[in-house]
Amino acid sequence: MSDSSLIVMKFGGTSVATEEGRACIAQRIKEHQEKGDACVVVVSAMGRKGEPYATDTLLGLVENLPQRKEELDLLASVGEMISSVVVASELRARELNTEALTGPAAGIFAEGAPQNAAISVIQTDTVQKLVAAGVVPVVCGFQALTETGEIITLGRGGSDTTACALGVALEADAVEIYSDVDGVMTADPRIANDAQVLKIMRADELFQMAKMGSKIVHTPAAELALSSGVSLYVKNTFSNHPGTRVVDIAAYRPQTIATAVAHTHDVSRFIVELESCEGCADHSKRQNALFQSLAENAISLDMFTPANDKLFFTVADSATKATEKCLKDLSMSYVLSTDLSKVTLVGAGMHGVPGVMAKLSQALADEKIDMYQTSDSHTTISVLVASVNCKRAIAALHKAFNLGEINA
């Protein structure tokens, strides 16, 4: 970054929830200002479920009552409004010139389904004027305005997306995502004792980690970082650790085959009998009828594998009952397996390298862990395992690919 830069800083729920955290936010802003940088702050709702102003707590107030999705968006957005005012006020008390802004006041517009909208445009005039006047805008993440003038929210982790989208719209020099961990880690440190904070990683690796279950950055935010080339840093509000630098694909060649191990729990697998020969008209007809039914019910498939007269695929446990109904309505026979987890080895360095799958398979075999299904891409290999074996699978892959030594 240059000597004088525009930085978008996003602070998560654990950072904004306490006076200690807000003091650390002030310190991070002052560190940038001392270098001559201008800052735009984005905040999440305070705390986690069970704490009074957390999004899940607010939604719990109407959990057992008749609901309208549009009203749920209105309620869900309240937590960020509280955070923005409290943070702005506390920063002002610490001699920082600040102003709280809702998402709409910051010019953020979105379209799509309630509770899962996508940012369509950001009108940056208000934010730019405040920055030019030496004011630190404290913007509500997660929320935006529809073209009909209603509040809408961006889905879980949407404040990350707000920050990245603002960074792109403002042509910021960097976007910094702050939480209570030091950066992106090679695995869950509660599972892999020697998990390391990555010093640098590619944007496509971050996107795959988010997609495959890592909670450190919201998936649409990681996708935006990948597509826009914005400079992204993942840091800890409460420490001076340098964190993880996320770079454009063309800017960094991975030095290792693998970068991290991600995982997703609560997976169900279906083996569906098509009961006709592959290539037959009836085979295609039944297959397409199933896909159409799943699409109409907004069911997302994963790890899809066709095999002769069978289809193998997984869904999130939350979609299991709806998937069963689709299959029963079509009179299709199936076998359902539950209590499964998907473990994914992530690394841009594996592309075109022979033997990666063999090494992964051997690591799991050595631990007597069965693989029920696999899928892969240029930067990932995913395996489906029994949930009871998930932690051992993560630890085994972390060890086999020497991820505990990645910073050595």
E strands of 107-225, at which residues? 108-111, 118-122, 136-140, 143-145, 151-153, 174-179, 200-202
Is the separation of the CB atoms in 383 and 400 below 8 Å? no
Q: Which of 37, 39, 58 is nearest to 47 (CA)?
A: 58
* C-alpha of 258 from chain center: 20
How does DSSP classify residue 185? B
Whose structure tokens read 């800052």? Answer: 39
Q: Which CATH superfamily is domain 6-252 in?
A: Acetylglutamate kinase-like (3.40.1160.10)
b or e along 125-156 (b: 16 or more beta carbons within 10 Å of the residue's beta carbon)?
eebbebbeeebbbbbbbbbbbbeeeebbbbbb
Tokens in use for 386? Answer: 């029994």
- Categorise residue 130: left if φ over 0, alpha if ψ from -120 to 50, beta otherwise: alpha
What residues of the chain score a pLDDT lower than 70? 1-3, 276-281, 408
Tokens in use for 139? Answer: 């913007």
C-alpha to C-alpha distance for 285 and 333, rounded to whole angstroms:
15
C-alpha to C-alpha distance for 222 and 164, rounded to whole angstroms:
8
Rg (CA), the chain: 23
Query: C-alpha distances in angstroms, 208 versus 174, 197, 260, 367?
Result: 21, 17, 10, 26
DSSP SS3 for 64? coil
CATH class of the region 261-401? alpha beta
Question: What does the CA dihedral 222, 223, 224, 229 come to, rounded to 10 degrees?
Answer: 80
Can you give the pLDDT at residue 222? 87
Pairing verdict, β 136-140 and 38-43: parallel
Domain ranges, ordered by start, for the chain: 6-252, 261-401
Would the CA dihedral through 15, 16, 18, 20 be positive or negative? positive
Whose structure tokens read 């607010």? Answer: 58
Can you give the pLDDT at residue 2? 47
Q: Which of 167, 133, 161, 129 is nearest to 5 (CA)?
A: 167
Q: Whole-model pTM?
A: 0.89
C-alpha to C-alpha distance for 287 and 276, rounded to whole angstroms:
10
Instruction: List pLDDT tens digits, range 63-119.
Output: 888 888 888 999 989 999 999 999 999 999 999 999 999 999 999 999 999 889 999
Mind giving me the DSSP string for 220-268? Answer: HHHHHHHHH---EEEEETTS----EEEE-GGG---SSS--EEEEEEEEE
Tokens in use for 380? Answer: 């990932």
Tabulate helix, strand, coil % of the chain (nearest 5). 35, 25, 35
Instruction: List pLDDT tens digits, range 358-385.
Output: 999 999 999 999 999 999 999 999 999 9
Residues paired with 273 in a beta bridge: 310
C-alpha to C-alpha distance for 20 and 90, rounded to whole angstroms:
11
The helix-helix angle for 219-228 and 158-169 (nearest 10°) equals 20
E strands of 274-396, at which residues? 302-307, 310-316, 334-346, 373-376, 380-386
Q: Which of 110, 109, 172, 111 is nearest to 137 (CA)?
A: 172
Beta carbons within 8 Å of 309's beta carbon, 6+ residues apart: 273, 274, 275, 276, 277, 278, 283
Is the separation of the CB atoms in 285 and 374 below 8 Å? no
